[in-house]
Structure formats: C-alpha cells, structure tokens
Amino acid sequence: MKKEWVWLVVLSLCVVLVIPWSILRWQKEKVKPADVQIRVLMPNGGVVNLALEDYLLGVVAAEMPAEFEVEALKAQAIAARTFAARRLSQKNSSDGGYDVDTTVQTQAWLSDTQMRAKWGWFNYIRYRGKLQKAVLGTRGMVLVADGEYIEAFYHSSSGRKVTERSEEVWSSPRPYLQNVSSGEDNPQRYVKSISYTPEELFKKLGTKESPHSLTSRDFQVLERTAAGRAKSVRVLGKVYLATQLRTLLGLPSTDIEWVIQPERLTITTYGNGHAVGMSQWGANDLAMKNNKVEEILAHYYPGTKLMVLGYK
C-alpha cells in the first residue's frame, strides 16, 4: 500500500510540474520564433542584414512623428511591416542584392545615431522606448487581403479631402485602397503656396521654347479624381498627369488651386503626400479619440484582415 502511495505522489508531481512546464516551453517556442531577416541598402552603398522588428523601429522613427499616440504608431508599424513582408515575398534574382533602402523609394529609415541627432539624447531615450513599445506590441502583425500581403500605402495628410483610390493615382485598382474620410480634425494643417516666374516654370518643366508671359490657357486642370484632386493638367500646352507634375514642380500634393498672372503662377496645395491609404495625421487624430489600432487600420484599409506573419 505504501509503495502504491509513493507512486501516486510521483505521478501527481509529474502532472503538476512536468506537463505544465512542457506546455509552457512549447508556447514560448511557438510565440518567439527566430526573426525574419531583411536586407537593407545603406546610404554608403553597403547592404546590412537586420532583424525585421529592429528594422521597423527605424522605419517608424523616420516615417511618423514620435510625439504621436501609441495606437497611431502601432498602425504605422503594422503598415510598414506589411510593406516589408510584401517586398520579401516578391524577392527574386534581379533584386539588386537588397530588399529595401533607407529612402522614400521603399521606406525611410533611421539608425540609432540618426535618431539621437534628430531628437537629442533625452528625447532619444524617451521616444525610442515608445516606438519600441509600438513595434513589439504589434510583433509579427500584418495586413492581408485575398491571401496576400496588401500594398499598405500611407501618406502624411489627406488635407481637406477624402483619401484617393489607388487606380486614380497609379494604374491598378486595389479593393482596400478606396475613398474614405481622412480622419483628420484639421483639414488646413498642410496648406502651402508656391510661386513660379515664367522662367522658373519653363525650366522646371524642361520646356525648350523661350519663356513668355503667362495666360489663363497656360495652366488648366483637365480632369479630377473622384475625391476632387487634380488628375491631369495642361501646362504650357503639354498635358501631364498630376502626379508627374507634382514631382516636376515640387508640390506637396495634387489638391491644388492656382492664380495665374502674366509674370507669376501661384499654386496653393492642401494636404501632404499622394493621399492613398492611411493618413498618418488622420491615424493620430483617430487615436486621440480612443480608436484602437485595429479600428484605425480597418478604416483606412477596408476589407483587410490582421494576421500574424509566418516566420520561417
């Protein structure tokens, strides 16, 4: 009887200690997989392999003001992670040996040294911890539609208009990149007026003929998007896509008004960026109204799902 009692105690200890320990170990192994590595082209031309979550810290630091609400920073982290995951999933032999660079051609990125220079030592300690909380608090989370990582575009401010449909800025439609409200409380946050003399305008557009006094026919919006931004514009007799003209003239956005005089063209823009996808200022304004990251992302990317990135 005593022997049976001893075996019963041993068995009970196994149930109480060993099995829970095994489950806990399994959970830890499942929750903390090895990080995905991403190849980053640095400004000096070198390529550095970084853990994806470490890379994202630098992206959020570069792409969104660190003063923003944590829920907005989380939304930025997820959008940036989704962008990176899509790039990784499309990796091929002609990728140039890297996945992303540190510019807006892919996603802007800051090193720790650049963060300290940008914020100063005191704010570096404060902000870096805040951004790390946003990145690690969304660890592995990505946006998916139809079984694929979405094109999680984002921009600074939609200004006074709703966001743009992707097909009206670029060529192809995306069901999750539609006209939705900006979410911004201050539509006049980014208003900028830029003036050009005839000489400056001709030079920026690369027009070979000699500059002349301007008339009302020298600048005309021919077509607008459903949101009301310029889509195609005739300038000095040539038709440009508004996105192309924005680059040539250095305009913050394609939501424009203009005044033309014989010796000066003045263009006033509203908002900042291409206006597709998430408005970063709108995300922050929504976060200030106690919207959670899931609600913010669902607003700007309707029909998408939040899923965990499949680590390998």
pLDDT band at 146 (very low <50, low <70, confident <90, very high): very high
Residue 180 belongs to some domain of the structure: no
What's the CA gap between 251 and 189, in Å, rounded? 15
Residue 128 belongs to some domain of the structure: yes
Tell whether 137 and 201 lie within a shared domain. no
Q: pTM of the entire structure?
A: 0.85
Q: What is the pLDDT of residue 94?
A: 61
Tell whether 45 and 147 lie within a shared domain. yes
Instruction: Please say whether the dihedral angle defined by the alpha carbons of residues 141, 145, 150 and 155, taken in this order, is positive or negative.
Output: negative
CB contact at 8 A, 131 and 61: yes
Residue 23 belongs to some domain of the structure: no
Quick: pLDDT tens for 208-242: 899 999 999 999 999 999 999 999 999 999 999 99
Total length of the chain: 312
Tell whether 48 and 143 lie within a shared domain. yes
* Residue 223: count of CB within 10 angstroms of its CB: 12
Average pLDDT over the chain, rounded to an integer:
89
Please say if the pLDDT value at position 264 is more than 60. yes
SS3 label, residue 93? coil
pLDDT band at 12 (very low <50, low <70, confident <90, very high): low
pLDDT band at 309 (very low <50, low <70, confident <90, very high): confident
Residue 175 belongs to some domain of the structure: no
Residue 13 belongs to some domain of the structure: no
Residue 168 belongs to some domain of the structure: no
Lowest mean pLDDT, pick from 89-93, 251-255, 264-268? 89-93
- High-pLDDT (> 90) share of the chain, %: 83
> DSSP label at 145?
E
The total of structural domains in the chain comes to: 2
Tell whether 68 and 149 lie within a shared domain. yes
Q: What are the residue ranges of helices labelled H in the chain?
A: 2-13, 19-31, 52-63, 70-89, 112-136, 198-204, 242-249, 280-288, 293-300
Quick: pLDDT tens for 86-139: 999 987 656 789 999 999 999 999 999 999 999 999 999 999 999 999 999 999
| Residue numbers of the domain that contains 290 | 37-155+279-308
Rounded to an integer, the average pLDDT of 291-305 is 98
pLDDT band at 197 (very low <50, low <70, confident <90, very high): very high
Tell whether 147 and 290 lie within a shared domain. yes
Select the more confidently predicted residue: 19 or 86: 86
Instruction: Please say whether the dihedral angle defined by the alpha carbons of residues 273, 108, 58 and 174, taken in this order, is positive or negative.
Output: positive
* Residue 250: count of CB within 10 angstroms of its CB: 9
Residue 15 belongs to some domain of the structure: no
Tell whether 45 and 106 lie within a shared domain. yes
C-alpha dist (Å) from residue 41 to 81, 83, 118, 125: 17, 16, 21, 26
